Structures are given as structure tokens and as C-alpha cells.
């Protein structure tokens, strides 16, 4: 547990240091904090839970399309398990996606290709939605040089991500060959996976299942549209969290400010660059963006802290609980299986 808390605590300390050294000191923090409306802040927590639930429903729908049984409770636990790992491991969003794919395939080793396809297609949907909204927001922020430049840069990254996902999904030979080369390197460094030939055969099997799953998504337009709807509702809840935080401190902010800042932060977080962008850096990014929009510094600092209590620390606790539930249940299942094995 102590090791698990290292990165979150380090990030919190890093953010506090930033506040103290960026001319935020001396502001009326406590004066603003006293204005917090418990009702609106309580609604913020509920809307945050709604964001997670709709995110889990999106992934559940994509998994179910592939004829894999995954209930809402288990999908919620697996999503929060992944969110917990995202906070702890500096490989933003990829660690959570890998953990979700792993958990599904751990339940059934024959589902590895399908589990990978579900998280890849889930990322594809979120990337498309983010890209579209960034383009829309760019039209309304063309007068702000700094924000426009950041938005254009992130659009370039989102576009590159989409191209990479499409190549991986639709060029079967390329994806399998890249996987083979990666497997060869892994096998050379470690002997855990047996011979390269055996691993090569497994990769080809998983790769074929992956591309078959992508084809199923292409021919399941109604189910994919429902998944897109859930993903959009999840993103809407993310906007709601930020907006309700401002309402809880009795500050009226333009919805466009909330939408654009949320989209920019989500777009940065989605870049798998190995930076722990769950703690420390999001707070700095958030305060900087709000300051660019001309919000009062005391409001910026307090709203950022209140937002991160909900979107980081609350989820960290729920994620830790989910992690324990999943692992304890798995351990109990493995013991039960072991008892029935012949000696």
C-alpha cells in the first residue's frame, strides 16, 4: 500500500509546490472554500460515478458484441481496476487498457484476441469523439493564440493516433508482423514464454481473432452506435463534474470554457507517453488553462483542488477497493479449482 501511494502523494506535493511558486500564494483560498455548497458538490460526486458507469457500459457493449459474457458489475470493477493502475503506473491510459484486456483473458484464455479488440475499439471511439469536439472547440477559440496552438497540436496527435489504430485494425499482416518482432525481442530477453515458434503461433492465433472481432464491429452498426452513445454520455458527465464544481463555489463560468478545458486535459491524458499524467501534471494543466481563460486565480486554484478530489482521490479509493475485490475473488476461484484437481 505504501508503494501504491508513492506516485499520488508525489504528484500532490508537486502540485502544491507549483501553487506556492506560481504566484498563487496569498490568495483567499479559505474564503472561497467557505462558499462551497455541499449539495452541488455531492452532485459532483454522483455525476463522476455516472461518468465511470457510462464508460463501463461502453466497454461492456463492445465486449458483448463479440459474444463474451460481461455483466455491468464486473465491467465496472474491471474499469476501476484499470483506473487504479493508471494512477499508479506511468503509462497513462495504456496500463488501464492492458489490465482490462488481461482480466477478460484471465477469465478465459481463449478470449485474448477479443479482449484486445474491445479495448482498442473502445479507444478508437473515444479518440474519434475527442477529435470531433476539439475541431468544434477550435472554431470558438481561434482568437486565443496559446489555446489555439495547443488545440492544433493535440489534434495532430489525435489524428496520428487514429491512423495508427486504423492501420493496426485493418492491416492484418502488418499488425501480426509487428507483434512477431516484439515477441522475438521479449523471448530473447526472457525465457518465460517458451520457444519463439510456440509464441509465434499463439500471436498469429490471437491476431486472427483480433481482426475477426474488428470485422464483427464493422457489421454491428447498431451496437456500435449504442456504444458511441454511452461514450458520449460518459464525456458529458465529465463536463458536468467540472461545471458542478464551479457551481458549488457559486462561480458562473461559460460552458465552453469547461468543455474546452476538459477536452484538452482528456486529450493530453490519452497520449501514451509514459508520463504519470494522473497526478500533479493534470492539476498544473488545469490551473494554467483556466488562467488562460481569464478566471480569477483563487477560483482557479480552489476549483482545481475540488475537481481532483473527485476525479482522482475518490476514484483512487474506489479503484483500490475494486482491485482488492477482483484479486480476492480470483484467488478464491483458483483455490477452488486447485482442490478439484487430481494429485
67 secondary structure, DSSP code: T
Rounded Cα distance, 132 and 266, in Å: 13
Rounded Cα distance, 280 and 13, in Å: 8
Three-state DSSP state, 148: helix
Q: Report pLDDT for 185.
A: 56
Rounded Cα distance, 324 and 220, in Å: 35
Q: Which three cell numbers stand for residue 189?
A: 530477453
Cα pseudo-dihedral 292, 297, 303, 307, rounded to 10: 60
Q: Which three cell numbers stand for residue 19?
A: 501553487
15-19, 36-40, 144-148, range with the lowest pLDDT: 15-19
Decide if 272 contacts 94 (C-beta within 8 A): yes
Q: For the chain, give every domain's residue range.
A: 37-335
Cα pseudo-dihedral 180, 182, 186, 187, rounded to 10: 20
Rounded Cα distance, 96 and 77, in Å: 12
Give the HSE-up count for residue 338: Cα atoms under 13 Å, Cβ half-sphere: 6
Q: Report pLDDT for 77.
A: 96
Q: Report pLDDT for 236.
A: 94
Query: Per residue in 26-56, pLDDT tens?
Result: 455 556 667 778 888 999 999 999 999 999 9
Decide if 312 contacts 279 (C-beta within 8 A): yes
* pLDDT band (50, 70, 90) for residue 1: very low
pTM over cut 0.75: yes
**Mean of per-residue pLDDT scores for the chain:** 79
Q: Report pLDDT for 56.
A: 96
Contacts from 262-269 at CB under 8 Å and sequence distance 24+?
262/238, 263/130, 263/133, 263/134, 263/137, 264/134, 264/147, 264/150, 264/151, 264/154, 264/289, 265/289, 266/130, 266/235, 266/238, 267/130, 267/134, 267/154, 267/157, 267/158, 268/154, 269/92, 269/93
Q: Which three cell numbers stand for residue 239?
A: 463536463
Amino acid at each position: 500500500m505504501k508503494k501504491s501511494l508513492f506516485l499520488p502523494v508525489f504528484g500532490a506535493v508537486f502540485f502544491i509546490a507549483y501553487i506556492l511558486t506560481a504566484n498563487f500564494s496569498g490568495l483567499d483560498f479559505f474564503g472561497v472554500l467557505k462558499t462551497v455548497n455541499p449539495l452541488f458538490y455531492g452532485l459532483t460526486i454522483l455525476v463522476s460515478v455516472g461518468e465511470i458507469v457510462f464508460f463501463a457500459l461502453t466497454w461492456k457493449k463492445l465486449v458483448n458484441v463479440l459474444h463474451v459474457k460481461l455483466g455491468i458489475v464486473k465491467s465496472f470493477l474491471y474499469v476501476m481496476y484499470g483506473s487504479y493502475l493508471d494512477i499508479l503506473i506511468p503509462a497513462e491510459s495504456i496500463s488501464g487498457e492492458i489490465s482490462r484486456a488481461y482480466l477478460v483473458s484471465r477469465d478465459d484464455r481463449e478470449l485474448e484476441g477479443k479482449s484486445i479488440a474491445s479495448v482498442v475499439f473502445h479507444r478508437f471511439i473515444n479518440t474519434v469523439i475527442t477529435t470531433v469536439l476539439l475541431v468544434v472547440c477550435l472554431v470558438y477559440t481561434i482568437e486565443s493564440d496559446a489555446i489555439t496552438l495547443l488545440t492544433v497540436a493535440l489534434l495532430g496527435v489525435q489524428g496520428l493516433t487514429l491512423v495508427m489504430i486504423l492501420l493496426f485494425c485493418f492491416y492484418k499482416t502488418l499488425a501480426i508482423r509487428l507483434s512477431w518482432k516484439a515477441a522475438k525481442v521479449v523471448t530473447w530477453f526472457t525465457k518465460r514464454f517458451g520457444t519463439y515458434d510456440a509464441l509465434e503461433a499463439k500471436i498469429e492465433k490471437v491476431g486472427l481473432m483480433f481482426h475477426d472481432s474488428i470485422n464483427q464491429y464493422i457489421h454491428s452498426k447498431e451496437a456500435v452506435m449504442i456504444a458511441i452513445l454511452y461514450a458520449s454520455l460518459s464525456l458529458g458527465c465529465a463536463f458536468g463534474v467540472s461545471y458542478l464544481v464551479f457551481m458549488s463555489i457559486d462561480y458562473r463560468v461559460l460552458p465552453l470554457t469547461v468543455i474546452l478545458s476538459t477536452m484538452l486535459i482528456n486529450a493530453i491524458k490519452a497520449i501514451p507517453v509514459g508520463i504519470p499524467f494522473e497526478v500533479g501534471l493534470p492539476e498544473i494543466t488545469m490551473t494554467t488553462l483556466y488562467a488562460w481563460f481569464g478566471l480569477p486565480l483563487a477560483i482557479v486554484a480552489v476549483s482545481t483542488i475540488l475537481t481532483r478530489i473527485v476525479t482522482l482521490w475518490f476514484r483512487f479509493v474506489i479503484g483500490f477497493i475494486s482491485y482488492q475485490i477482483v484479486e480476492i475473488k480470483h484467488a478464491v476461484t483458483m483455490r477452488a479449482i486447485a482442490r478439484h484437481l487430481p494429485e
